């Protein structure tokens, strides 16, 4: 047995790859949980119910949640959707409560790379850097340059002949009625409703049905963008130097720039004079009326509508500057690795897989299992008792009033008795084969020496 063969056998023994699993909870009246057709809310994590034969052997790479619908990105480069389809936001011309593939009429031969869900629309990008959209187009949020068509039920090409011509798409994000697109060369574009300035173009135009450049001449001048996030009617941008910028609706302080203006039509910087001083932001998630930030040291900060910020405060005043999320209690000595903001709640996960939520729990979107707790001012634990052992949280997602947890296999640090037995057998077999080989070589050389002497 060669060393390479032994190594391959050991790698097989140590490795264990199982498809990722997904759990959802919260509002389900449109089937957005993908768990059943009852329409009943779920107050604790419930397994995704995949009945479609085509999907059963496909691995889920990521989950994307809209207001009342959800879309899965599958490893095979295709997508499946479920939930409300009143405006065509599922992209399959059907209304289903369990995942089915979206229509591929326009996507033949293309692999889907990026996905984002808005209120009633969805946008996807493909491996050849094209954009497709479907759902409601009442404000031009599909970017198709066809304002006469207010609904698209299957993926439809976004108008790419203008500012989007020949760009390489890095990120996309959808708000209620607008869409943001970030290119790999640090250019930011938007289309859709601009009622509150959420397009960030500086001009007070009502809407833009094709992509237009976001204003980069002000506070974003010479900034390199690392992440974008759309809230309902506002947008948030994180730059590689750890700063945060926002624009759009500010009625509840969700822009976080310390000013009580109703809206901002150009990007403004989030206030860093308080708790964010000397902090490096690595992720932002914009909800309907609040925004949550994750810093490099694993802490969370938020601003916007009172009661949704997780800071433990019962004061009924909106926060126009960042406050620190309560990192005592269930988050004591924890480092958060990911966060997602919904309409009136937020969900996050720590580096050691503690999954938590805060905010409203009207439909069970906090996942605690408590049907009576309607508001949590500080982070609380999601009831993870139904989660299979040996799994780690890969992603959390927040829709309007529902949440999703995507799991993958945890790296094993120990060995089962069966694995130990196999390893011992392989090693003993290798030793035995090596001993026989050595004995054979010794006898052969002895014989050759004897023949030479005679």
Say how many CA atoms lie within 13 Å of 62 toward its Cβ: 12
On whether the CB atoms of residues 253 and 285 are closer than 8 A, the answer is no
What is the DSSP-derived secondary structure letter of residue 278?
A: T
In DSSP notation, 321-374 reads EEEE---SGGGTT--EEEEEE-SSEEEEEETT--EEEEEE-TTSTT-SS-SS--
| Residue recorded with tokens 């120990």 | 414
Assigned token pair, 305:
């509508």
Q: In this structure, which topology does domain 18-415 adopt according to CATH?
A: Methylamine Dehydrogenase; Chain H (2.130.10)
Indicate the SS3 state at residue 384. coil
What does the alpha-carbon distance between residue 347 and residue 131 come to, in Å, rounded to a whole number?
29
Q: Cα(61)–Cα(21) distance, rounded to whole angstroms? A: 10
Beta bridge partners of 117: 122
* pLDDT at site 234: 98
Note down pLDDT in tens along the chain; length 454 residues: 444 444 334 433 343 333 458 999 999 999 999 987 788 999 999 999 887 776 777 889 999 999 999 999 998 888 999 999 999 999 998 766 678 889 988 998 899 999 999 999 999 999 999 999 999 999 999 999 998 999 999 999 999 999 999 999 999 999 999 999 999 999 999 999 999 999 999 999 999 999 999 999 999 999 999 999 999 999 999 999 999 999 999 999 999 999 999 999 999 999 999 999 999 999 999 999 999 999 999 999 999 999 999 999 999 999 999 999 999 999 999 999 999 999 999 999 999 999 999 999 999 999 999 998 889 999 999 999 988 888 999 999 999 999 999 999 876 444 445 455 666 666 677 667 766 766 665 576 656 655 655 5
Are 207 and 175 contacting, i.e. CB atoms less than 8 angstroms apart?
no
What's the count of helices (H) and strands (E) in the chain, helices before strands?
2, 28
Q: At 446, phi and psi to the nearest 5?
A: -65, -45
Looking at the DSSP bridge assignments, the partners of residue 112 are: 126
């Amino acid at each position: 047995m060669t060393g390479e063969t032994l190594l391959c056998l050991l790698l097989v023994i140590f490795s264990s790859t199982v498809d990722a699993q997904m759990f959802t909870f919260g509002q389900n009246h449109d089937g957005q949980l993908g768990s059943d057709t009852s329409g009943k809310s779920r107050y604790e994590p419930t397994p995704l119910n995949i009945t479609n034969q085509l999907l059963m052997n496909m691995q889920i790479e990521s989950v994307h949640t809209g207001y009342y619908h959800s879309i899965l990105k599958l490893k095979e480069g295709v997508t499946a959707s479920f939930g409300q389809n009143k405006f065509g936001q599922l992209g399959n011309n059907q209304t289903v409560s369990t995942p089915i593939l979206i229509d591929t009429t326009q996507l033949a031969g293309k692999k889907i790379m990026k996905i984002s869900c808005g209120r009633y629309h969805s946008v996807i990008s493909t491996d050849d850097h094209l954009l497709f959209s479907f759902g409601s187009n009442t404000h031009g949020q599909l970017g198709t340059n066809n304002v006469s068509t207010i609904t698209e039920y299957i993926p439809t090409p976004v108008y790419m002949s203008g500012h989007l011509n020949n760009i390489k798409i890095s990120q996309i994000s959808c708000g209620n009625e607008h869409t943001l697109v970030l290119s790999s060369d640090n250019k930011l574009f938007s289309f859709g409703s601009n009622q509150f300035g959420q397009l960030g173009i500086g001009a007070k135009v009502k809407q833009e049905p094709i992509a237009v450049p976001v204003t980069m001449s002000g506070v974003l001048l010479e900034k390199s963008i690392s992440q974008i996030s759309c809230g309902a009617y506002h947008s948030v941008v994180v730059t590689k130097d750890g700063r945060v910028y926002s624009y759009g609706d500010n009625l509840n302080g969700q822009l976080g720039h310390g000013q009580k203006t109703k809206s901002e039509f150009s990007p403004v910087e989030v206030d860093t004079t308080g708790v964010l001083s000397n902090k490096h932001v690595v992720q932002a998630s914009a909800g309907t009326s609040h925004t949550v930030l994750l810093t490099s040291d694993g802490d969370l900060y938020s601003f916007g509508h009172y009661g949704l910020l997780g800071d433990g405060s019962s004061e009924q005043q909106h926060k126009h500057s960042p406050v620190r999320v309560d990192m005592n209690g269930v988050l004591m000595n924890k480092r958060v690795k990911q966060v997602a903001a919904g309409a009136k709640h937020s969900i996050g996960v720590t580096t050691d897989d503690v999954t938590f939520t805060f905010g409203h729990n009207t439909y069970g979107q906090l996942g605690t299992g408590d049907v009576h707790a309607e508001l949590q001012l500080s982070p609380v634990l999601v009831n993870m008792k139904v989660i299979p052992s040996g799994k780690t949280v890969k992603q959390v997602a927040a829709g309007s009033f529902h949440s999703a947890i995507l799991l993958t296999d945890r790296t094993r640090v120990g060995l089962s008795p069966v694995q130990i037995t196999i390893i011992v057998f392989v090693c003993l077999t290798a030793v035995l084969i090596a001993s026989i080989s050595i004995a054979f070589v010794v006898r052969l050389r002895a014989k050759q020496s004897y023949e030479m002497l005679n």
